[in-house]
Chain A
Amino acid sequence: MTAEVVFLLLTVCIWVGVVLGLRAVFLGMRLGFGSPGVDRAGLVKRLGISAGIGGFLLLVGSFIPKELGREAVGSWLPLVWIYTPFPGWMLLLSVFMVGSRLIQGRTALNAEEDRGRYLAALIWAGVGVGSFLWLRGMEGQISILRGAIPLHWPAIFGLLGLLVAAMVGMVLAERTTAARGVTKKISAQLGLLAGAVIFSIPFVWLLTTSFKEERDLANTDGIVWVPQVQKTHAFLDPENPQFAARYDGRAVKVKKDSEVAGGKWLVEVERPYGLRGRRFEVPAGSLKEIPRDQPIWSGVENGTAFTAFTVKDQEDGSRLLEVLEPGDRKGQRLTVMPEDVEPVRERGLRWQNYSDALEWMPLETGFGMAYLLNTLWLAGMSVLGTVLSCSIVAYGFARLRFPGRDQLFFVMLMTMMLPGAVTMLPQFLIFSNLGWMDSLLPIWVPTFFAGAFNVFLLRQFFGTIPMELEEAARIDGCGYWRTFWQIMLPLVKPALAVIAIWTFMGAWNNFMGPLIYVNTPAKMPMSYAMGLFASDRGTDQALMMAFATMSTIPVLLLFFFAQKYFIEGVSLSGLGGR
């Protein structure tokens, strides 16, 4: 513990020293280029104090024994991190708060504010005592973790440059307000940029991972950002030829099994996976041989380098290769152990992850097409149902006057608070008794009966349309329905677009509905199919990412085309603008 405490104290010395040193530089700069009206004598005095104390602390800190810190390259900045349970942090926080409140206490404008601050300090002190007692009860859980930021020279120069630039900015900002605006803008821009990078990293990773080869998924040298693919050689294997054929109206890749009577061959399907193992007979003439894409390797034999492609992986673990280069050995066969050769790779995208992911989907879904169509159907019906029913109901609540309206509207608002969990089980029983199990009906039919939230929004929107319009229509002899359909509905189009988009997104993302109601792959929407795919193939990262990318892209496209409505929708909901 004592070594840790020494390390802690010396680390604090170094950091305070660094900060004071920087302050000294800053003050020096102000002295040099600062605005003319400054108190130069005061500046010099402060500079002297900062430089003196900072230098002293740095000197003390430099006595920190190296063996206390972590191994680090070049120079290093020590770091400490106090590891304590929750009350420990509370204690630290309360000490800090008491201190800051006491300091603030004397700077306030009036006595009342002062009293408030002293009271706050008192409360925090109480919290501190409480946490301290709590911490005592837990005993021996505080530890100080030691570490260091390794600093390479380029990093040090980079950091220093950045700091100097920041200080110059601060000094300049003092001189003119225009400069202040620019500094503010630049820092906002930097912050936004940093945030944007952080927010988009997962997406970028999703995308690159979906194109990676297996060997790039786990990488000891850090994450692979640029996918590489192994080069392949189109190989017509005389021993194990592959043929293109048609089976059940689909193009398949087959291998020969045996010859049968009548000049026909019995063949076995190799791809797509869903048909794997199926056998059928074809006339010999209709088979067209197609090459297999075999991976290419490089290695060294007897001191000469070669590249070769796999002919066959053999059962004893060795690999039979056929040489491609150098030219004079082309066609030679050799047997190697897999660890003795290196894959020949190039920068590229492995589209095969996508085709594999699609191929592994149950056959009857038509390589996942059914998922997409089901999702679109579900989303389309939900949008239609929601837009129609909600606009009708909202119009009724907003523009027609009838007894009981406000009371019923209140009831409707109340239902917004009801968690879906309460109605989940009975709804399931209703739908299963209707025989709607294993279909999407239970998910989209209810949308035709007006959800409370959307009705509420639309009602607000209808409310903003001037009454005169409607009255004019009424005088012209329009019935209620025509007034609604021909006059009012076109006016709320923007709101409808927003609701349509929200509903679309909700339907696209709906997971629990299909989880409960749909069993057959051919009837599943994408979200649930993906959950299911993950439970079968979840360990296959690249395939999962490919599937995730495919299910995300349509939504993102929608977002790009309808961005306006997404953004406007919020302010329109009456929540943003009030």
Chain B
Amino acid sequence: MYTYSRLLWCRMNRCPTRGVLLTVVGLRVNRMVMRMVAMLSLVVFSCLSLAAKTEITVWGLAITPDEKGNDLIVRQFERENPDIKVKLLGMGAGAMNPQKLMTAIVGGAPPDVIQQDRFTISDWASRGAFRPLDDLIERDRGSDPRTPTADQYYPATWNEAIYDGKLFGIPIGADNRVLYYNTEVFAEKADELREAGLDPTRPPRTWSEVLAYSKVLTEFNADGTIKRAGFIPNEGNSWLYMFAFQNNANFMSEDGRKCTLNTPAAVEALDFMKAGYDILGGYENTLKFKSGTRGGENDPFAIGQIAMIINGDWMIASYARYSPKAKFLTAPAPVPDDRYYQRGRFADEKDKFITWSGGFAYAIPRGARNIEASWKFIKFVQSLEGRQLYARGQADLEQSRGRRFIPRMAANIEANEWLVDTYASGNSTYELALRQHVDMMPFARLRPATFVGLKLWDEHVRAIEQACRGAQSSEEALVSGQTRVQQILDEYFSKEDYPRVNILGWVLGVFGVVVAGLVTWVAMLIRRGSGRVSPQETRAGYAFISPWIIGFLVFTLGPMIASLVFAFMNYDVLNPAHFVGGKNFVDVFVVDRDLLLKALGNVAYLAVIGIPLGLTTGLVIALLLNTGAKGIRFYRTVYYMPAIAPTVASTFLWMWILTPDNQRGLLNNFWTNTIAQWFGVNAPGWFTVEPWAKPALILMGLWGAGGAMILWLAGLKGISKTLYEAADIDGASGWRQFWSVTLPQLSPLVFFNSVMGFIGVLQTFDGVYLITKGENMGPNDSLATPVYMLFNNGFAYFRMGYASAIAWMIFFIVVAVTLIQFKLAPRWVHSEVDK
């Protein structure tokens, strides 16, 4: 009803004749009605004029209590352009879920403007997902003073949005990273620092210095856990990119065709990170420490639990808000010794210090409907005026809460200078810090503009983990990451070597052949059996099952064939497909082997441990209920309720229950007060650490064991009483009766559940996607699943062909395991028929 009335309403708004028609009809009736109709048509027309308003949708801007600047921008823009209405939508702000944008563009319903992390812009641009903006700039350059041009921006920000010589986004903010060091900790440890030959009044400037400082500043508890960390290489925001840039490593070749993740310079940088972790007692030990830290008022750096940290300018506002008493200073992040002393490879380098800059940009997706309005909006947002409005809105909000306002950097140089002059010209810690960041801006490097940006990012994160954990040497880790990125590059650049095919034609062709085969088969069946049944009944029968036949052909068989065809193609939906033969299947097993094995291992873990645990829990409850205990209805309700709670709600609930922070997380609070004290085992980090991520998932699933319980209850009811009576006469104990009567009688149910359970587990997706927020696959891929791999490849890396190959692989595994289960079943599943 609701949608229908809305539909009607929209139609009325859009159809101009309706108002006229009503008016014409109205003329014939009396004046009273006429007046009414006139009013009505007025309403309709005014609605029409409302509808004529251009509405632009902007994605990537969250409406949260901490954002008021965007409100002001939008209001001012709407005031200046009364014919445009702006709608802001978070859509998973920040990294902006790529899958959402992808489906929207392919589906022809993209937003008009999107705020996007700059380093992913080339990714989209390479596939023609964004509209180049050069022509608009060229057109407006002379006429509109707000037109953005390259000279107004920090080069590091502007260049990041350029792909293949064309500009695809207008940078909005800029960030970069510097070293924050807690002066209180430095003062407290002054003597020890001096003893080690280090100056406690200044920050470390080189890699070897920062390690030396860290060694002195780090303190351990008696049990070897970290009490205070001197310097955690990958805390705050540095990643390998920061250190690699400092060491003049670049992860991509100039022409963008080769991934150069593994270079001696990068290996050196990664070795440095590893050395940093070794000082802290290893990567795992650091993770344990990190899982015990919190944000806000208890930020580990602000309260001195971490002495030095490389972080971005966004942290200043947070420190100002939550830790007004923290004493810290900033300095350029430490660089390789050779760079600092300008010797060796760096003898001719001018820049002593290097930072890494990133940030967001506004872009217009392909297929956006209101380009002019969108462009106007982008111009306004990025202009000095827009930035000023934003800062005013934020300042107003912070001041109304009685807090200090520290602006974020803008990519627009003029705007940035205005911000510093207006809000950060003083000498407070925060203002000094911000100016430090601004000063570093000219020395900023940027991530290479490549269409494999996202994959490169994911792989570099994986390499950091592998190397710092000690699972692989730095070089091995980088090599394996490089191979996987290179695979996508090769796939892209070698695309033209493979024949271009008309994919729709292929799908329809194969589909036609298969359907023709099916029709012939059915026709044959009908002819063969026509003697025995009435043709009338045959017709009726087919009529009755026709909904399924149509559904089967359109929603199952068709897509199956399509995905089979895709599996042999290099296809990204937006561009024509190329036939690559079995390459996708080979690649799944060769290039992505590690991840695939990990994902399969994960589901095997979930299946082998999770399914039996879930079934046992359900069975135990059912057995207890089946003793004829009082209040069965009540208990049944209580146990079953979790099973029907909406997945999304219960996932979020459990994410909070399992929060590692023992003051916010329910379970860890309990654990800290009991188990930790009794056994001396610290509360685990659940979803944040590798060994506990899957157990946490299983635990979450156990809560829903009520579903299985209901099934068991029904099964128990079905067991004949006589069997138990006979067992009683034989003198079998309760335990014995369970093993010899109950369990065999229930075995068909066990079988059914394990088959269905396995099929379900192999398709685990919703939960892990929600838990990892779609950003990664859990710590060290411990939550990777085949469907998650498929989803990422299909909807985030645009590799439909590859994703289809994974889909078929999943299908084969399901079939194989199900067949094995059916083969083994007769050995243990009790069946009345056999005996």
Contacts and interface: CB of A to CB of B under 8 A. Distances in A.
A115 interface: no
Given A185-B627, A319-B402, A421-B790, A205 B666 contact: yes
A217 B664 contact: yes
B624 A535 contact: no
Interface stretch (B350-358, B482-490, B553-561): B553-561
A149 B663 CA distance: 22
A203 B829 CA distance: 37
B644 interface: yes
Given A422-B810, A548-B653, A563-B637, A480 B525 contact: no
Interface string A428-451: 111110010110000000101110
Interface stretch (B185-193, B205-213, B456-464, B537-545): B537-545
Interface in B613-636: 621, 624-625, 627-631, 634-636
Contact of A551 (B109, B527, B648, B714): B648
Contacts of B99: 515-516
Nearest to B818: A417
Nearest to A526: B646
A438 B644 contact: no
A422 B805 CA distance: 9
Contact of A480 (B93, B540, B661): B540
A79 interface: yes
A552 B644 CA distance: 9
Interface in A499-551: 505, 508-509, 511-512, 515-517, 519-521, 526-528, 530-532, 534-538, 541, 544-545, 548-549, 551
A409 to B, nearest CB: 9
B705 to A, nearest CB: 9
A421 B551 CA distance: 17
Contacts of B790: 421, 424
Nearest to B573: A429
A404 B526 CA distance: 6
Given A217-B664, A417-B814, A555 B656 contact: no
B680 interface: yes
A577 B562 contact: no
Contact of B402 (A189, A313, A417, A545): A313
Interface in B548-577: 548-552, 554-556, 558-560, 562-563, 566, 573
A351 B639 CA distance: 28
A541 B111 CA distance: 30
A220 interface: yes
B828 interface: no
Contacts of A37: none
B710 A532 contact: no
Contacts of A480: 537, 540, 543-544
A461 interface: no
Interface string B321-347: 000100000000000000000000000
Choose among A146, A415, A536, A575 the residue with the greatest number of B CB atoms under 10 Å from its CB.
A536
A192 B663 contact: no
B72 to A, nearest CB: 6
Contacts of B538: 402-403
A189 B629 contact: yes
B678 interface: yes
Interface in B404-458: 404
A450 B550 CA distance: 9
A276 interface: yes
B71 A277 contact: yes
Contacts of A521: 89
Interface in B649-667: 649-650, 652-654, 656-657, 661, 663-664, 666
B63 A360 contact: yes
Contacts of B156: none
B811 A422 contact: yes
Contacts of B555: 423, 427, 446, 449
A577 B714 contact: yes
Nearest to A445: B555
A103 to B, nearest CB: 17
B677 interface: yes
B26 to A, nearest CB: 26
A58 to B, nearest CB: 20
B150 interface: no
B718 interface: yes
Contacts of B786: 421
Nearest to A415: B556
A392 B544 contact: yes
B544 A396 contact: yes
Contact of B679 (A81, A405, A508): A81
A169 interface: no
Interface in B55-93: 57, 62-65, 68, 71-72, 75, 87, 89-93
Nearest to B636: A567
Contact of B645 (A147, A148, A555): A555
A79 B679 contact: yes
A147 B560 CA distance: 58
A403 B528 contact: yes
Contacts of B75: 277-279
Contacts of A531: 648, 770
Nearest to A278: B75
Interface stretch (A106-114, A119-127, A194-202): A194-202
Nearest to A435: B108
A576 B635 contact: no
Contacts of A425: 559, 562-563, 566, 794, 800, 803-804, 807
B64 A536 contact: yes
B53 interface: no
A250 interface: no
A476 interface: no
Interface in B110-159: 111
A146 B401 CA distance: 49
Interface string A545-567: 10011011001100110010011
A334 to B, nearest CB: 16
Contacts of B62: 536
A322 to B, nearest CB: 16
Given A220-B663, A420-B763, A426-B566, A534 B548 contact: no
B501 interface: no
Contacts of B637: 559-560, 563
A274 interface: yes
A570 B644 CA distance: 14
Contact of A527 (B91, B634, B648): B648
A36 interface: no
Given A317-B402, A425-B563, A571-B714, A449 B548 contact: yes
B63 A421 contact: no
Nearest to B567: A422
B733 interface: no
Given A276-B71, A417-B815, A427 B559 contact: yes
27 contacts: A150-B678, A196-B634, A196-B638, A202-B657, A313-B401, A396-B543, A397-B545, A400-B541, A402-B529, A402-B541, A403-B528, A412-B552, A419-B762, A423-B555, A426-B507, A432-B107, A511-B766, A530-B649, A530-B652, A536-B92, A549-B649, A551-B646, A559-B637, A566-B644, A575-B711, A575-B752, A577-B715
User: Ordered nearest first, which 3 A-B pairs have the shortest CB separation?
Assistant: A449-B551, A576-B714, A396-B544
Given A192-B624, A511-B648, A516-B103, 7 more contacts: A199-B703, A217-B664, A218-B664, A315-B402, A407-B521, A415-B552, A424-B790
Interface of B: 2-3, 57, 62-65, 68, 71-72, 75, 87, 89-94, 97, 99-100, 103-104, 106-109, 111, 294, 324, 393, 399-404, 507, 521-522, 525-530, 532-533, 537-538, 540-545, 547-552, 554-556, 558-560, 562-563, 566, 573, 621, 624-625, 627-631, 634-642, 644-650, 652-654, 656-657, 661, 663-664, 666, 669-670, 673, 677-681, 703, 706, 710-711, 713-715, 717-718, 748-749, 752, 759, 762-763, 765-766, 770, 773, 786-787, 790, 794-795, 800, 803-804, 806-808, 810-811, 814-815, 818
